[in-house]
């Protein structure tokens, strides 16, 4: 719940900046990429710490048969990051495989790390590039839209992992007091 509120607040603050341009120069307002980038770095730390701290057995855990396992969520996040960030960068995704099908903790942690390394390039774009309108997911959108969507999606699934970790007696990274 706390993560959802943070994401919604972030989008309320950042989204108006993503629509700048009709009333003035984007440089006159807050740097939207830096704002979304800060949140991305935060959730990146939480997701990587979750993936690294979870036992190999937790990777197979799912609270019910209808939902993804912990490991499948890690793979899903990595898949989605490649989709969102390749859209923002306007290039073909380098992944080429369904990372949700990986089975070992080592493979999944590596895939998640590589997806973050790829997305780091997208979050490094400057304000002008981020505010460009491009074809994304069958619609005209800003590159910043893809970055915002990715960050929100990451927080959504971090929330799932928090529940899985707490259900197994673990304290999630965002509550570890770091």
pLDDT tens per residue, range 36-95: 999 999 999 999 999 999 999 999 999 999 999 999 999 999 999 999 999 999 999 999
Other C-beta atoms lying within 10 Å of the C-beta of residue 38: 13
Dihedral (C-alpha) 103, 105, 110, 112: value to the nearest 10 degrees?
80
Question: Per the domain annotation, does 110 fall within a domain?
Answer: yes
Residues 6+ apart with CB under 8 A from 165: 50, 53, 54, 58, 171, 172
For the chain, the average pLDDT equals 87
pLDDT at 104: 97
* Domain interval for residue 8: 2-16+32-171
Question: Per the domain annotation, does 37 fall within a domain?
Answer: yes
Tokens 């992992």, residue? 161
The total of structural domains in the chain comes to 1
Question: Per the domain annotation, does 8 fall within a domain?
Answer: yes
pLDDT tens per residue, range 130-169: 999 999 989 999 999 999 999 999 999 999 999 999 999 9
Check which CATH number belongs to the domain holding 50 and give it: 1.20.120.450
Q: pTM above the 0.95 mark?
A: no
pLDDT at 14: 46
Question: Per the domain annotation, does 24 fall within a domain?
Answer: no
Question: Per the domain annotation, does 71 fall within a domain?
Answer: yes
Minimal CA–CA distance to 11: which of 30, 44, 39? 39
Tokens 């057995």, residue? 57
């Amino acid at each position: 719940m706390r993560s959802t509120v943070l994401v919604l607040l972030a989008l309320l603050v950042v989204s108006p900046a993503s629509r700048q341009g009709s009333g003035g120069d984007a440089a006159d307002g807050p740097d939207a990429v830096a704002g979304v980038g800060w949140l991305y770095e935060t959730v990146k730390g939480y997701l990587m710490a979750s993936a690294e701290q979870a036992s190999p057995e937790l990777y197979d855990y799912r609270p019910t048969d209808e939902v993804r396992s912990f490991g499948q969520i890690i793979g899903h996040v990595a898949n989605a990051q490649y989709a969102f960030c390749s859209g923002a960068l306007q290039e073909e995704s380098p992944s080429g495989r369904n990372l949700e099908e990986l089975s070992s903790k080592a493979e999944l942690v590596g895939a998640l790390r590589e997806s973050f390394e790829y997305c780091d390039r997208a979050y490094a774009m400057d304000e002008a590039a981020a505010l460009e309108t491009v074809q994304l997911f069958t619609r005209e959108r800003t590159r910043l839209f893809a970055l915002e969507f990715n960050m929100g999606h990451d927080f959504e699934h971090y929330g799932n992992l928090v529940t899985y970790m707490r259900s197994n007696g673990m304290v999630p990274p965002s509550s570890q007091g770091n």
